[in-house]
């Protein structure tokens, strides 16, 4: 019995060993990638040697390993989709995808993952592509260490860097994305992890979430994107240790949370944004240990948000700490450090003895009449603010931190 099983095992090993390596390039086995893919059987490796391959619609429908050696270029001549993956366990690495087609009615991608599992797209370069990597109905794929750049000018004629639609358990890590419409776009994507990516100078959002539940994103940096990051209509989203920086504009937010519930936002850094966090219709979010520095508005919390806990955050150097649009406050502020706090601590327990009201009257005024920003920090505006601090009339009375910290928290 043991002998038989050993033989079977050996046979299997032999089969694996039989997996061939096909080479593509000048003077190699094949001159075109397409022919090599056609000739390959499941388990083969195709090595592509340096050169420019002007090929279109390479259709990978079997489990193969596409490996670029010395960064060969697959050129779509601005007309075609370059690579379509329709099989499980395909790996694509070390290839430069250039000039994918563009279209206003079709989603043309440089690399498309269609209805597949366990596909790995690793260490590739995407230059001037429409959609960079497009995954539809994919499961457990890894998109790792790719560099994507494009030349998007406006939202209409551009597309997303990494686009995932109806996918599950994706891992997107260590990618650099710039010049697209949205850096990373998620729609109906679940149980996925976005980690260590750097998304900057995209036309619209650095990261865009729609209807995607139970996803986590960690240690990403989103910088100088048209409108920052948007997370909409999703629940159970976790965000840890990300950096949101330099998103400037009248509708630019470090992060926009719209109809989000049950998430954790922890250890993130919001710096130099017009609005650090914009919350609309969001509930049951835990926002803790975040750092807000040098933002125009650290947070804007609309009155339709409820049961959020904003605990142990540092607010320093923001023009306005919190702004809101109504009287109703259903969220909780506790143990935050506010650099504008002017209270005292008689019992020396590190917690201020009088509550801090983070909404200044002038924040309310500019919310209603943006032009009044012109008088910000003038004598009269500080006079009004001081009066309001003594006798709150217009600012929501309930929006306060009862236990403000005296010293910045070490985060």
Partner 1 sequence: MRTIVKYVMLDLLKNRIVMGYTLLLLVLSFGMFSIDENSTKGVLSLMNIALIFVPLISIIFSTIYVYNSAEFIELLVAQPLKRKTLWLSIYSGLALSLAVAFLIGVGVPVLIYESSATGLILVVSGLFQTLIFTGIALLASVKTRDKAKGIGVSILTWFVFTLIYDAIVMLLLFQFSDYPLEKPMIALTMLNPVDLSRILILLKLDISAMMGYTGAVFNEFFGGQLGMLVSAIVLLLWTTVPVWLSVKQFQKKDL
List interacting residues with partner 1 (CB under 8 A): 248-250, 252, 272-275, 294-297, 316-317, 319-320, 339, 366, 368-382
CB of 276 to partner 1, least distance (A): 9
Alpha-carbon distance 269 to 387, whole Å? 32
Q: What is the dihedral of CA 109, 112, 115, 119, to 10 degrees?
A: -150
DSSP-assigned letters across all residues of 154-217: SSTT---SEEEES-BS-EEES-EEESSSSSEEEES-BS-EEES-EEES-SS-SEEEES--S-EE
Closest listed residue to residue 204, CA positions, set 132, 153, 271: 153
Q: In this complex, which beta carbon is closest to partner 1, that of residue 349 or of residue 372?
A: 372
Q: In this complex, which beta carbon is closest to partner 1, that of residue 257 or of residue 278?
A: 278
DSSP-assigned letters across all residues of 288-334: ES-EEES-SEEEEE-TT-EEEEEES-EEES-SEEEE-SSS--EEEEE
Alpha-carbon distance 73 to 75, whole Å? 6
CB of 243 to partner 1, least distance (A): 15
Structure-block tokens of residue 212: 């995607």
CB of 366 to partner 1, least distance (A): 7
Displacement of CA 33 from its chain's centroid (Å)? 33
Q: In this complex, which beta carbon is closest to partner 1, that of residue 346 or of residue 374?
A: 374
Q: In this complex, which beta carbon is closest to partner 1, that of residue 53 or of residue 253?
A: 253
CB of 54 to partner 1, least distance (A): 44
Quick check: 180 and 155 in contact, CB under 8 A?
A: no
Quick check: 186 and 210 in contact, CB under 8 A?
A: yes
CB of 29 to partner 1, least distance (A): 57
Q: In this complex, which beta carbon is closest to partner 1, that of residue 15 or of residue 394?
A: 394
Q: In this complex, which beta carbon is closest to partner 1, that of residue 75 or of residue 388?
A: 388
Q: In this complex, which beta carbon is closest to partner 1, that of residue 350 or of residue 370?
A: 370
What is the three-class DSSP state of 348?
Answer: coil
Q: In this complex, which beta carbon is closest to partner 1, that of residue 141 or of residue 301?
A: 301
CB of 257 to partner 1, least distance (A): 18
CB of 340 to partner 1, least distance (A): 9
Beta-carbon contacts of residue 176 (< 8 Å; ≥ 6 apart): 146, 147, 148, 149, 197, 198, 199
Q: In this complex, which beta carbon is closest to partner 1, that of residue 131 or of residue 270?
A: 270
Quick check: 307 and 283 in contact, CB under 8 A?
A: yes
Beta-carbon contacts of residue 156 (< 8 Å; ≥ 6 apart): 104
CB of 406 to partner 1, least distance (A): 13
CB of 389 to partner 1, least distance (A): 17
In the DSSP assignment, the letter for residue 30 is: B
């Amino acid at each position: 019995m043991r002998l038989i099983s050993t033989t079977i095992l050996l046979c299997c090993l032999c089969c694996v060993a039989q997996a061939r390596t096909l080479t593509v390039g000048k003077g190699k086995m094949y001159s075109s990638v397409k022919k090599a893919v056609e000739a390959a059987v499941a388990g083969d490796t195709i090595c592509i040697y340096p050169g420019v391959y002007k090929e279109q619609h390479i259709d990978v429908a079997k489990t193969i390993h596409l490996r670029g050696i010395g960064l060969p270029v697959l050129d779509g001549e601005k007309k075609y989709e370059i690579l379509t993956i329709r099989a499980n366990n395909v790996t694509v690495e070390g290839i430069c995808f250039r000039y994918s087609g563009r279209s206003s009615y079709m989603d043309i991608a440089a690399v498309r993952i269609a209805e597949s599992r366990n596909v790995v797209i690793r260490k590739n370069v995407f230059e001037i592509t429409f959609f960079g990597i497009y995954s539809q109905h994919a499961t457990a794929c890894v998109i790792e260490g790719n560099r994507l750049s494009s030349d998007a000018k406006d939202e209409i004629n551009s597309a997303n860097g990494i686009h995932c639609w109806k996918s599950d358990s994706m891992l997107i890590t260590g990618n650099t994305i710039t010049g697209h419409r949205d850096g990373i776009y998620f729609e109906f994507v679940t149980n996925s992890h976005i980690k260590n990516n750097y998304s900057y100078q995209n036309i619209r959002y650095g990261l865009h979430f729609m209807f995607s539940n139970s996803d986590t994103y960690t240690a990403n940096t989103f910088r100088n994107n048209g409108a920052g990051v948007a997370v909409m209509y999703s629940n159970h989203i976790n965000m840890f240790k990300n950096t949101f920086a330099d998103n400037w504009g009248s509708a630019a937010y470090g992060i926009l949370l719209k109809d989000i519930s049950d998430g954790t936002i922890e250890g993130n850094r919001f710096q130099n944004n017009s609005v650090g966090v914009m919350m609309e219709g969001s509930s049951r979010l835990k926002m803790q240990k975040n750092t807000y520095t040098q933002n125009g508005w650290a947070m804007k919390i609309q009155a339709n948000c409820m049961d959020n806990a904003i605990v142990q955050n540092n607010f320093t150097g923001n023009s306005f700490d919190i702004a809101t649009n109504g009287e109703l406050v259903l969220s909780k502020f506790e143990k935050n450090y506010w650099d504008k706090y002017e209270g005292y601590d008689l019992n020396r327990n590190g917690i201020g003895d009088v509550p801090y009201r983070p909404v200044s009257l002038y924040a309310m005024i500019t919310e209603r009449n943006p032009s009044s920003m012109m008088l910000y920090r003038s004598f009269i505006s500080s006079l009004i603010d001081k009066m309001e601090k003594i006798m709150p009339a217009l600012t929501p009375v309930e929006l306060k931190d009862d236990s403000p910290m005296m010293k910045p928290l070490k985060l």
